[in-house]
Structures are given as structure tokens and as C-alpha cells.
Amino acid sequence: MKPLPDLRAWLTRHKLTQGDLALICGVTERCVGYWLSGRSAIPQTLRLLMRAVDDDRIDLPWLAGVIGEEKRTAA
């Protein structure tokens, strides 16, 4: 099993911003900032998402598109 990457490095590698991750996870940018600073622990679901993306099991652009579409239809 591969070790879990650092969240900041993971965001950089996948060309994501804090806002992008907040949208994908359904949280605020402040929450993502807390994860990045170590003020809050990274949830297990995000750890699983990171691993699935790194293992090419989930396509991030597709996931972001689905979540964005759900937010548009809910508004």
C-alpha cells in the first residue's frame, strides 16, 4: 500500500486550489485551510479520495463536474 501524500503536495500535483477541494468535498475553503495547517485532521473519506485519485480509480475533472452540476440544479 502506498503512503498517503501530503495534502498540499497532492493539491499542487493535481493542479487544484483550496476552493476546488472545498467544492469536491462539500466543505468551506476555511475547512480545507484547517486541514492544510494541521489545525483539523484530514477526514478518512478525503484520505480515501486522495488514494483513489492517485490510483486512477477516480477522475477528478469528472467528479468536480458532477458535483458542480448537482449544486447548479439544487440552486
Rounded CA-CA distance 43/56 in Å is 20
Q: Mean pLDDT over residues 22-26, rounded?
A: 89
For 12-22, the pLDDT digits (tens) are: 999 999 998 99
Residue 53 has pLDDT above 70, yes or no: yes
Task: Provide the pLDDT confidence category of residue 64 given band limits of 50, 70 and 90.
Answer: confident
**What number is the average pLDDT over the span 21-29?**
91
Average pLDDT, the chain: 86
User: In the prediction, which pLDDT does 31 show?
Assistant: 97
